[in-house]
Amino acid sequence: MKYLVQKFGGTSLATPELRELAAQKIIAAKKEGYSPVVVVSAIGRQGDPYATDTLLKFIGGIYPEISCRDLDNLMACGEVISGVTMVAVLEKHGYKAVFLTGGQAGIVTDDSFTDAHITQVNPALINKYTADGAIVVVAGFQGQTREGLITTLGRGGSDTSAAALGVALNAEAIDIYTDVEGIMTADPRIVKNARTLDIVTYNEICQLAREGAKVIHPRAVEIAMQKNVPLRVKCTFSDAPGTLVTSAADNGSVEIKRDRVITGITHIPDVSQLKVDISGWAENDYPQLKIFKAMALAGISVDFINVHPDAAIFTVKDDVASKAVQILENMGFSPGVTPGCAKVSAVGAGMAGVPGVMASILEALAAENIKVLQTADSHSTIWCLVRQDEMEKAIRALHNYFALGE
Ligand code: ADP
Ligand code: MG
């Protein structure tokens, strides 16, 4: 069986006209001899009747105490509605189509409700229906525990569903259809001249995705990479080739140019910087250890960590900042907090060993009078913390400086 996994995001399915465009992509694949396995997100975005955020707002507004376990049953509804609708569209065109929930499609997860991880895929039902000539449409973003309880996979989880199915079915490719032309050098909503990248490596896109390029979920990339199944990010509304994600080492006839110093600029908004002065603490009191242990125990994830002998500096999401401050104050610390920050990152596999990249970044930001609150770097990423009201300016400044639009 020549499988092709085709995943459609919520904005690509928002109206009957858009669903028609999506159906045409599926029908084209079928005509080319593929067995398409279609993964759908919930229809639309917040405000649309069955979008995930709308369902969350509905229940959260009246019954905020609902358990994560029960919440997952509600959140899984959006994709079911979307999938059944897509089956109807395909059948209207005369194609045999079958809908499966994530669980029915064989997606097994752990029991971390609302943010479950896929542990196994048993695609027996998919194989059965495709062998029968049907197009299988699977509800994305959801799975089922071993006991049969419904789980959801966290934000961007439909990408992960598609990747897991692609790997389990040994698909020829996993196509992620969305509302932009592919993976771009920056978020096109912020940078007007952002350019679509023709080809990127799994590692590069993983890094871009982890640092905020929400066009694809990093977990999806990691899963596809395990079995080297090519990922393609494409636009539902055009015939542009999109972006091919592959491994540099095993790219068949695809020519990969020398690694780019900077591939793209990404951003993560809504973070707070915490600075904890520990100069008054005795070394054998292990103040740094105490701080990070306390954050871990409270389930607060920390990022952008700089530890010095007399200070611990890190970021947390804005919405947990006051909880973090409270915990630290209860422990006897007096943390300084700067809310409303954003992490802007320059990502590129080719920056390792290239001198002067950090200097260039600081120069680009200084030229726009953007204050840098903190930096960090790895072999493929340089992170800068800036004030959120300067975030867009910082992204554009870096995009321009490195001429990524050309
Ligand atoms: P979908 O509903 O199809 O999953 P998402 O909203 O999750 O769509 O992802 C697509 C959006 O990601 C685009 O509309 C774009 O604004 C945003 N985006 C952020 N960074 C990038 C980037 N580097 N390349 C492309 N899109 C990006
Ligand atoms: Mg998405």
Predicted pLDDT at 155: 87
| Together in a domain, 11 and 143 | yes
DSSP string for residues in 312-325: EEEEEEHHHHHHHH
**What is the number of other CB atoms lying within 10 angstroms of the CB of residue 211?**
20
Q: Give pLDDT tens digits for 244-281.
A: 998 865 544 445 555 678 999 999 999 999 999 999 89
CATH number for the domain harbouring residue 29: 3.40.1160.10
Mutate to test the pocket of ligand 1, among 183, 187, 268 (most ligand atoms within 8 A of CB): 187
The verdict on residue 20 lying in a domain is yes
Q: Give the CA angle between residues 291, 292, 298 to the nearest 5°.
A: 95
Region 382-397 average pLDDT: 98
Going by alpha carbons, the residue nearest to atom 18 of ligand 1 is: 187
| Together in a domain, 35 and 169 | yes
| Together in a domain, 17 and 111 | yes
Domain boundary at 130, 160, 179, which?
Answer: 179
Count: domains in the chain: 2
The verdict on residue 385 lying in a domain is yes
How far is it, in rounded angstroms, from Cα 29 to Cα 37?
Answer: 10
Asked which of 32-36, 46-50, 73-77, 100-104 is least confident by mean pLDDT, the reply is 46-50
Domain boundary at 150, 179, 208, which?
Answer: 179
165 vs 10, 106, 161, CA distance in Å? 19, 9, 6
The verdict on residue 59 lying in a domain is yes
| Together in a domain, 38 and 160 | yes
What pTM did the predictor assign?
0.91
The verdict on residue 103 lying in a domain is yes
| Together in a domain, 171 and 303 | no
The H or E element spanning position 135 is: strand 135-139
| Together in a domain, 310 and 163 | no
Q: Which residue has the tokens 């994600």?
A: 245
**Residue 373 backbone phi and psi in degrees, to 5:** -90, -25
Q: Pull the structure tokens for residue 135.
A: 């197009």
Question: Hey, which of 47-61, 110-124, 238-252 has the most confident mean pLDDT?
Answer: 110-124
The verdict on residue 223 lying in a domain is no
Look at the chain and count its residues: 406
The verdict on residue 197 lying in a domain is no
237 vs 40, 51, 329, CA distance in Å? 16, 20, 52
**Which residues 6+ apart lie within 8 Å of 364 measured at CB?**
397, 398, 400, 401, 402
Neighbour-count burial of 79, counting CB atoms closer than 10 A to its CB (0-12 exposed, 13-18 middle, 19+ buried) = buried
Half-sphere exposure of 101 (CA within 13 A, CB side): 18
Domain boundary at 149, 179, 209, which?
Answer: 179
Range of the structural domain that residue 93 is part of: 3-179
Q: Give pLDDT tens digits for 129-143.
A: 999 999 999 999 999
The verdict on residue 255 lying in a domain is no
Beta carbon of 169 within 6 Å of any ligand 1 atom: no
Q: Which of 32, 24, 23 is nearest to 4 (CA)?
A: 32
Neighbour-count burial of 104, counting CB atoms closer than 10 A to its CB (0-12 exposed, 13-18 middle, 19+ buried) = middle
Predicted pLDDT at 251: 46
| Together in a domain, 35 and 164 | yes
Q: Which ligand is nearest to the CA of 48?
A: 1
How far is it, in rounded angstroms, from Cα 21 to Cα 44?
Answer: 15
DSSP string for residues in 192-235: TT--B-SEEEHHHHHHHHHTT-TTS-HHHHHHHHHTT--EEEEE
143 vs 75, 80, 154, 400, CA distance in Å? 12, 12, 11, 42
Beta carbon of 393 within 6 Å of any ligand 1 atom: no
Q: What is the mean pLDDT of the chain?
A: 93
Interval between CA 269 and ligand 1 midpoint (Å): 15
With 70 as the cut, is the pLDDT of residue 94 above it?
A: yes
**Which residues 6+ apart lie within 8 Å of 313 measured at CB?**
273, 274, 275, 276, 304, 305, 306, 307, 374
Mutate to test the pocket of ligand 1, among 7, 53, 214, 266 (most ligand atoms within 8 A of CB): 214
**Residue 285 backbone phi and psi in degrees, to 5:** -90, -10
Beta carbon of 143 within 6 Å of any ligand 1 atom: no
Predicted pLDDT at 355: 87
Going by alpha carbons, the residue nearest to atom 1 of ligand 1 is: 9
Phi-psi sector, 299: left (phi>0), alpha (psi -120 to 50), beta: left
DSSP 140: T
| Together in a domain, 276 and 171 | no
Predicted pLDDT at 48: 86
| Together in a domain, 139 and 285 | no
| Together in a domain, 59 and 157 | yes
The verdict on residue 379 lying in a domain is yes
Do 177 and 236 touch, CB atoms closer than 8 A?
yes
Q: From the CA of 185, give the closest atom in ligand 1.
A: 23
Beta carbon of 365 within 6 Å of any ligand 1 atom: no
Q: From the CA of 11, give the closest atom in ligand 1.
A: 2
Beta carbon of 242 within 6 Å of any ligand 1 atom: no
Predicted pLDDT at 258: 56
| Together in a domain, 38 and 168 | yes
Predicted pLDDT at 260: 78
Q: Which of 73, 77, 6 is nearest to 40 (CA)?
A: 6
Helices (H), 100-201: 124-131, 157-168
Asked which of 158-162, 193-197, 206-210, 251-255 is least confident by mean pLDDT, the reply is 251-255
CATH number for the domain harbouring residue 289: 3.30.2130.10
Predicted pLDDT at 211: 93
> Three-class SS of residue 139?
strand
Q: Give pLDDT tens digits for 60-80.
A: 888 888 999 999 999 999 999
Region 178-188 average pLDDT: 96
With 90 as the cut, is the pLDDT of residue 316 above it?
A: yes
| Together in a domain, 11 and 145 | yes
Percent residues over pLDDT 70 in the chain: 97
